[in-house]
């Protein structure tokens, strides 16, 4: 079980808060350590966006927002391609 979940709406809102204009967003199922989304921006560019999954068993073991697999300090990771 995970401490929190990230759905398409929450992912889009997080990206908008970082200045991205989202045209469409769709979850890519199957990520074991991340919630992964395929995103199309309003200008036509495509983004793969990842949000860390933190399991109940990992609670308190890492700094808040730290990626438990890669150790990244960011909860949201995205790359515009």
Render pLDDT for 12-42 as a digit per residue (tens, 0 to 9): 998 998 899 999 999 998 877 788 999 999 9
pTM: 0.70
pLDDT at 34 (0 to 100): 84
The residue ranges of every structural domain in the chain are: 8-80
Compute the distance between CA of residue 58 and CA of residue 56 in angstroms, rounded to an integer: 5
Q: Which CATH class is domain 8-80?
A: alpha beta
Residue 18 tokens read as 């970082």
């Amino acid at each position: 079980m995970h401490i929190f979940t990230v759905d398409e709406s929450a992912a889009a809102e997080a990206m908008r808060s970082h200045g991205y204009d989202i045209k469409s967003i769709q979850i890519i199922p199957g990520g074991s350590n991340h919630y992964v989304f395929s995103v199309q921006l309003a200008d036509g560019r495509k983004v793969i966006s990842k949000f860390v999954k933190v399991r109940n068993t990992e609670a308190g073991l890492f700094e808040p927002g730290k990626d438990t697999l890669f150790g990244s300090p960011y909860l949201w990771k995205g790359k515009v391609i």
